[in-house]
Amino acid sequence: MVLAITRELLDRYRGAPQALTWRWETTVVDVVLRHGSRSDAQALLPVFLEDPEAGRLLVPVFAQHGDLSMAEPLLAACVQAGRLRDGMPPEVLHAIGLLGYEPAERMLWEHVAAEGNACAAERSVTGKALAEGPYEHYESMNACLGLLHLSCGGLRTEIARALQRHVGAALFPEFLPVLATKTDDPSWLGKLVEWGDGEASTDCNGGLILGIALHGERARSEFIRLLWNPWWQAHDAGTGSSLWAYAGARVLGLSMPELYADLVARLKSDISTDDKEHCLATFVALVNYWVSRPWLGLHSAPEPTETYDALCDLLVEWSTSHSDDSLIGLARHVLDPDDHLLTRLHDLEGELHIRAGHELEIRTLASG
Mean pLDDT for each consecutive 10-residue tract of the chain (368 residues)? Answer: 96 85 95 97 97 95 97 97 95 98 97 69 40 65 98 97 96 96 98 97 96 98 98 96 98 98 96 97 98 97 96 93 90 94 96 95 87
In terms of residue numbers, what domain contains 20? 1-65
User: Per the domain annotation, does 355 fall within a domain?
Assistant: no
Contact by Cβ (8 Å): 335, 345: no
> CA-CA distance, 194 to 273, in Å (whole number)?
26
Alpha carbon of residue 354 to chain centroid: 24
User: Per the domain annotation, does 190 fall within a domain?
Assistant: no
Alpha carbon of residue 153 to chain centroid: 25
181-204 exposure pattern, b = at least 16 Cβ within 10 A, e = fewer: bbbeeeebbebbbebbeeebbbbb
- How many structural domains compose the chain? 1
pLDDT of residue 117: 59
User: Per the domain annotation, does 138 fall within a domain?
Assistant: no
User: Per the domain annotation, does 350 fall within a domain?
Assistant: no
User: Per the domain annotation, does 359 fall within a domain?
Assistant: no
In 3D space, the residue among 44, 31, 247 whose CA is nearest the CA of residue 141 turns out to be 247
Contact by Cβ (8 Å): 148, 96: no
H-state helical runs in the chain: 4-15, 22-35, 38-50, 59-65, 71-78, 91-98, 105-113, 120-126, 136-147, 156-166, 188-197, 206-213, 220-228, 241-251, 256-267, 273-292, 308-315, 327-332, 340-366
> CA-CA distance, 302 to 326, in Å (whole number)?
27
Q: What is the pTM of this model?
A: 0.93
User: Per the domain annotation, does 246 fall within a domain?
Assistant: no
pLDDT of residue 125: 41
* Phi, psi dihedral angles at 2 (to 5 degrees): -80, 135
pLDDT of residue 85: 95
